[in-house]
Amino acid sequence: MAILTRGTWVLVADSEKALFLRNDLDDMNPDLNVVRIEQQDNPSNREQSANRPGRMHDNGPGQRSAYDDTDWHQLAKDRFADELAEILYKQAHRGAFERIILVAPPATLGELRSKLHKEVSDRVVAEIDKTLTNHPLDKIELLLRDLLETT
C-alpha cells in the first residue's frame, strides 16, 4: 500500500522550524506544496537570560553555590512542539488532512509524538527520524519517495 498518496500531509520539523506540506500527486511522483510555515525565534540561552544565576550560602565558611538557571532555549523548543501539536489538532479537526507523515530529528519527533491529540495520532501513517527542514522541496520529495519505498 502506498504511503505518500495524493492529499497526504507531510510535517517536516525540527525544534525551531516546521513546514506543513501537502502531496498533490502520488507516491511515485510526489509534488509537495507548502500549506504553512512556522518558525520560532529562539535566541541562545545566554541571550534570553536576564541575569547571572542566583547564589546561595553553603554549609562551609565562605562557600557559595550558584542556583541552576532556567534553560530558556530548551523551554522554547519544548513549547514549539506544543504549538505544532495544537496546529495539527485544529487542522485535523477541520478535516484539512486524513493522513500525515511526520519527519523530524529523533528528539523532536519524540516530543511531538507525546503531545499529539488522538485525532492526529490516528492519522499518522509514517514517521521518519531525519532533519530535512533546510532541504529544498524537490530534494525532500526525492528523499521521502526513496525512504518510503524501502518501508
Which pTM does this prediction carry?
0.79
What is the Cα–Cα distance from 6 to 19, expressed in whole angstroms? 18
C-alpha cell at 83: 504549538
What is the Cα–Cα distance from 57 to 63, expressed in whole angstroms? 6
Q: Where are the domains of the chain?
A: 9-40+71-149
CATH class of this structure's domain 9-40+71-149: alpha beta
| Residue 20: half-sphere exposure toward Cβ, Cα within 13 Å | 15
Kindly give the confidence (pLDDT) of every residue in the chain, 151 residues in length, as a single tens digit, with 9 standing for 90 and above: 679 999 999 999 998 899 999 999 988 889 999 999 998 765 554 555 555 555 555 666 666 555 555 666 566 677 899 999 999 999 999 999 999 999 999 999 999 999 999 999 999 999 999 999 999 999 999 999 988 886 6
Q: Residues 3-21: pLDDT tens digits? A: 999 999 999 999 889 999 9
**Between the CA of residue 56 and those of 7, 68, 72, 78, 131, what are the distances in Å?**
58, 11, 21, 29, 41
Residue by residue, DSSP assigns 52-120 as PPPEEE-SSTT-EEEPPPP-HHHHHHHHHHHHHHHHHHHHHHHTS-S-EEEE--HHHHHHHHHH--HHH
